[in-house]
Amino acid sequence: MRVTICLLLLMFCINSFAQTSTYKSVSETRKKEIENNLLKASKEIKTLQCGFIQEKSSVLLVETAKSEGNMLYKSPSSLRWEYLKPTNFALILNNEDVYLKTDNGIVANSNKMFKQLGSLIISTINGESLTDSKNFYVEYFESESDKKVILVKLTPVPKRMKEIYSAIKIKIDSSDYLATEIIMEEKSGDITTIIFLNKKTNMNIPSESFSAN
């Protein structure tokens, strides 16, 4: 029995090592190339809509909390982040205004967590967070198994942000330079993963989608 357990632990360690070593750091030249491509692609995005799956694992909970919803973005800074399952509510960012839409209507919202999430999504789409040396130490990696996948690791610089997040990782598809996944690793040990699905760019999105009315 002990031998079996040891073998299982060894296999787990090997597998974990393999998973963490599937990305390699890029050269400075390649980093500049990726940054230029990201900024070029972000400038071409006038609107973006997609579905998402959000999962959060917590050190305090046994089960992973799972949510599903849709996202609407309109350049330069309008975002509708709407949860459909298990509950229905939407976070709306329109320039400097932040609203939370629930079954009871729309109310002005100052929740820092929601605002940070919305700002992170917007800055990921427009490319600001990926080149933001003021708020993040930015590292680029490429998948060794899938050359289309780029991993951007953002390590927070400001004290307040460092107290919450140890790292924010963004997976990008190099065929269109859009994010496919965001992983937010908190100091507490909690991890939030957001996977984007069925992305559509530059489709018509009514301005009412970002209205407080």
Where do the domains of the chain lie? 24-202
Q: Cβ of 79: how many Cβ atoms within 10 Å?
A: 23
Task: Assess whether pLDDT exceeds 50 at residue 158.
Answer: yes
CATH fold of 24-202, please? outer membrane lipoprotein receptor (LolB), chain A (2.50.20)
Looking at residue 59, its pLDDT comes to 80
Burial track 26-36 (b if 16+ CB lie within 10 A, e otherwise): beeeebeebbe
**Using CA atoms, how far apart are residues 185 and 156, in angstroms rounded to an integer?**
11
* pLDDT band (50, 70, 90) for residue 114: low
Looking at residue 206, its pLDDT comes to 92
**Using CA atoms, how far apart are residues 107 and 97, in angstroms rounded to an integer?**
11
* pLDDT band (50, 70, 90) for residue 147: confident
Looking at residue 144, its pLDDT comes to 87
**Using CA atoms, how far apart are residues 188 and 16, in angstroms rounded to an integer?**
21
> Which amino acid appears at position 95 of this protein?
N
Task: Enter the DSSP assignment of 165.
Answer: E
Task: State the residue for tokens 């909390």.
Answer: 65
pTM of the model: 0.81
Looking at residue 106, its pLDDT comes to 66
- What's the average model confidence in pLDDT over 133-148? 86
Task: State the residue for tokens 């496919």.
Answer: 180
Pair of tokens at residue 73: 């973005």
